[in-house]
Amino acid sequence: MRSILFLYAMCFFATAQAQPDIPAQIAARKYDPASLMWYSKPATKWVEALPIGNGRLGAMVYGKADEEIIQFNEDTYWSGGPYSTTVQGAKAHLKDVQDAVFKGDLRQASDMFGRYMMGYPVEQMKYQPMGTINLFYTDTSGTSGQMRWLDLSTGIAGSSFKRKGVQYEETIFAAHDEPGVFMRIKADRPGALSFRIELRGVRNQTHSNYATDYFHMDGDGQDGLVLTGKSADYLAVKGALRYEARLKVKPVGGKMYVKGHELFVEGADAVTMVLLAETNFVNYKDVSGDAHARVEADWARLKEKDHDRLLQDHMNAHAAMFSRASLNLPTSTSCWLPTDERMAANEHSADPNLAALAYQFGRYVLMCSSRPGTQPANLQGIWNEDSNPAWDSKYTTNINTQMNYWAVESANLSDCFDPLWKMMKEMQDQGSDVAQEHYGARGWVLHQNTDIWRVAAPMDGPTWGTFTVGGAWLMNECYEHWKYTRDTAFLKEYFPVLQGSVDFFLDFLVPHPNGKWMVTNPSTSPENFPLSPGNGRYYDETTGSFIPGTTTVAAMKHGRNSIGYEVDPTYAKAA
């Protein structure tokens, strides 16, 4: 069970740490334009919000002066529960599919693969949003000077604005080595802070089969809010995850009370909050954890800790990781513009340093979404507001998962690779079942997608599902890790997994009728519809939709099978 967001407002107003004064730095142009993103207006939609995260907990911060919104995720909160997509005995149809490919009847091969060899269910589970913190200021009139920022070098997001002569400032961070998201709001006039807060859950409003999910919003004494719920059933897979998120609030001055599921702060000088979140996830086949007990343990660990000490510890740990790599490129006058204006200006006025900011932002989001002990970065890292996200926000292993980690070694973030490596080891479980039942092969195989439950069978449809090389491709990423680290202990652990991938292809490869090649059949080139007689637009029975053409083929490369060409040298070098 993982931590759900537990926000406890601890407001100890010591200022021992040297937290940067970002608004002053922006005004004086005394900041690094390759590590600071800032804007002169709040986010109006989710994609404009600023991300923070510690690998397990992620949040998107809007920086609004009327209704502040902080949307949050916990990396183990997905739909469904432990399940398998392996189809027993699917290998009985493999020879017929291969024969159809060799005869050039790609449509028939695709239809047979779709009918007999696709995993079941054909789709997989979805990464889910957990909730939002909605903070409503009591007085919203006369607002000016709005600004928000994300300091990549410290991992702190913030915002500020002026209202009726009072300056307000908010800072928020996902603690680098602690199980919480921490926020502080302060005003430069005593007694000026008044607002109410809701800790809101999320339900799927589109699919009727998500009616099995639920959440409850409650008060937690007179100083907090709590959100509890369960994951949704999906594709006849029971929603097995339970979660708890808790928000604790501590004001300096004024008064605070809870009414129903809302928390009110009136006339405070400053407020500190902490958000914790957990689920009952233990691993991909075990959901026996206790979300509530985990949140209790998280809170017991944090409740006596000073906010400023936590902030300083976070800044030190984050900076130690972030500062491992730098990229220095020439600056220009555009560097000092708000980031959205800076990007627009780059269209007509060169801003070489913008590439350095993009590079560091890429390092930052990987740092925030993939840490030892967490899940790997999914299609959206760790951030998702949608119960039905694009491509389910899972792990697309026909290029996207690999892309997430292409720079992990060269960007000097080698420890961020750990969650991907752990996933690859876990993939051997169902991957070996699929290798045997679908292909009659030894070893293990991974197709073009997986999810938190580590399913391995073909999915979506034969146009995509015949991609048998997802695991082999990821083995190359593992080899890159060894080449950078020269970690012999890792190599000893890695080699048997690599050998399992190689064993699969040694059994799966078949002779091409021309006698020249050993090929993977069936196979696919993602999104590439080969020009061949009869391969045009058709209605596919697996997906129930029109397809531009099948991608099901037998793969080869320069007279050698593409997988043998790429994996065997890796295997030989690792050996």
Predicted TM-score (pTM) of this structure: 0.93
- pLDDT band of 8, cuts 50, 70, 90: very low
Element (H, E) at 322: helix 307-322
Q: What is the mean pLDDT of the chain?
A: 91
More confident residue, 426 or 5: 426
Per residue in 459-470, pLDDT tens?
999 989 999 999
pLDDT at 535 > cutoff 90: no
Residue % of the chain over a pLDDT of 70: 91
pLDDT at 437 > cutoff 50: yes
pLDDT at 262 > cutoff 60: yes
Element (H, E) at 484: helix 470-485
pLDDT at 570 > cutoff 70: no
CA 562 – CA 240 distance, rounded (Å): 40
- pLDDT band of 353, cuts 50, 70, 90: very high
Determine the pLDDT at residue 575: 65
pLDDT at 106 > cutoff 90: no
Helix, strand or coil, per DSSP, at residue 486: coil
Per residue in 58-82, pLDDT tens?
999 999 999 999 999 999 999 999 9
Determine the pLDDT at residue 341: 98
Determine the pLDDT at residue 149: 98
Determine the pLDDT at residue 205: 80
Per residue in 401-410, pLDDT tens?
999 999 999 9
Residue % of the chain over a pLDDT of 90: 84
**Average pLDDT of span 525-553:** 78
CA 458 – CA 300 distance, rounded (Å): 44
Structure token digits, residue 402: 């690999």
Structure token digits, residue 302: 């944090």
pLDDT at 572 > cutoff 70: no
- pLDDT band of 545, cuts 50, 70, 90: confident
pLDDT at 533 > cutoff 80: no
**Average pLDDT of span 506-516:** 94
Of residues 509, 500, 549, the one with CA closest to residue 525: 549
Per residue in 11-63, pLDDT tens?
333 333 467 899 999 999 999 999 999 999 999 999 999 999 999 999 999 99
Beta strand pairing call for 131-137 and 67-74: antiparallel
In degrees, rounded to 5, the angle at the alpha carbon of residue 428 between the alpha carbons of residues 427 and 433 is 105
pLDDT at 558 > cutoff 70: no
Element (H, E) at 294: helix 291-302
- pLDDT band of 87, cuts 50, 70, 90: very high
CA 81 – CA 241 distance, rounded (Å): 7
CA 329 – CA 97 distance, rounded (Å): 54
Determine the pLDDT at residue 574: 65
Per residue in 368-399, pLDDT tens?
999 999 999 999 999 999 999 999 999 999 99
Determine the pLDDT at residue 61: 98
Q: Kindly give, in sequence order, each residue whose CB lies less than 8 Å from that of residue 386, ignoring residues fewer than 6 positions away.
A: 129, 393
Determine the pLDDT at residue 547: 83
- pLDDT band of 543, cuts 50, 70, 90: confident
Determine the pLDDT at residue 208: 53
The residue count of the chain comes to 575
pLDDT at 564 > cutoff 50: no
**Average pLDDT of span 158-162:** 98
Determine the pLDDT at residue 556: 47
Task: For 303-321, give the DSSP string.
Answer: TTS-HHHHHHHHHHHHHHH
Determine the pLDDT at residue 540: 85
Per residue in 202-229, pLDDT tens?
998 876 555 688 899 999 999 999 999 9
CA 132 – CA 68 distance, rounded (Å): 10
Determine the pLDDT at residue 410: 97
pLDDT at 269 > cutoff 60: yes
CA 401 – CA 337 distance, rounded (Å): 33
- pLDDT band of 560, cuts 50, 70, 90: very low
Determine the pLDDT at residue 568: 52
Q: How far lies 468's CA from each of 398, 435, 476, in Å?
A: 9, 10, 15
- pLDDT band of 10, cuts 50, 70, 90: very low
pLDDT at 6 > cutoff 60: no
